Amino acid sequence: MTMGVSAGGKGFSSDRLVAVLLFAQFAVVCVVKVSKGLTLELVWLSHVSLLLAAVGMWTRHTVVLATAFSCVCTLHTLWCIDCLWGLSTGTFPFSATRYLDGADLSTWLATLHHFYLTPVLAWALIRQRQCPLIAVGTAATLWLVLTLICHAATPTHLNINYAHGLNNPFGYHWLACINRMHKSLYLLVLNGFIFVFCLTPPIVVVRAILGLRGKTQLRLPAPHLT
C-alpha cells in the first residue's frame, strides 16, 4: 500500500467533520491557555499532536495521522491512568494530572482530547488500512524538536514535555539519578526512552492488526456465483 493521502469521496465527509471538531478542540485549548497566562503550554506534545491530528483528518494524509497517533497513544494512555487513579484515590502515580484535582470547567474542556484522541486516530488508521512505519521517525523528530525548544526557551517550573526533568513524586533513586544527569545526556536518554517505549509500540501494534486483518480477508472464500 502506498503512503500519503488516502482515497476518499468528494464533499464534506466524516473525516472532514472529525477534523472540524478537532480544530475546535484545539481552539478551546488555545483560548484557555492564553486566558490563563499559560501560552507556552501550547507546545506540549499533546497539544501539537491535536493540531496535527486535525490536519491529518482534513487532508486524509496517512503519515500525518500515524505521526499524531504515535505521539499520543502511549502517553495519553498513561495520562488517563494517572488521571482516573488519582481522582479516585487521591494518589497520582505519575504526577502528571494532579492539576485536575479541583480544576475548573475550562481546564477540563481544554484537556478532553486526552480521553478520545487515541481511539479516534486508531479508528482512522485502521479504516484507511495504512499505518506507515516512517511515522515513528517523524514522531521521534517532532518530540526531539519540541524537547530541545522547551529546554532552551521555557522555564524549568513549567517543565513542558519533561524537557527539564522527569516527575518523581515518590522519590525513586533511579529517577533522581536521571534528573541529575548533564542536560545534554538527559535529553538523549529521554528521547531514546520515548522513542523505544512510547512512540514505536503503537505503530507496531496497528501494523500487526492490519496485517492480521489482511490475512483474514485472504482466507475468506470467494462468493459463489450462480
Lookup result for grid cell 499533546:
46
Q: Are 128 and 18 in contact (CB under 8 A)?
A: no
Lookup result for grid cell 529517577:
175
Tens of pLDDT, residues 101-144: 999 999 999 999 999 999 999 999 999 999 999 999 999 999 99
Q: Which three cell numbers stand for residue 68?
A: 499524531
User: Where are the chain's structural domains?
Assistant: 14-219
Q: Are 95 and 82 in contact (CB under 8 A)?
A: yes
d(CA 152, CA 173): 26
Radius of gyration of the chain (CA): 19
**Per-residue pLDDT for 100 more than 70?**
yes
Q: Which of 117, 80, 87 is nearest to 102 (CA)?
A: 87
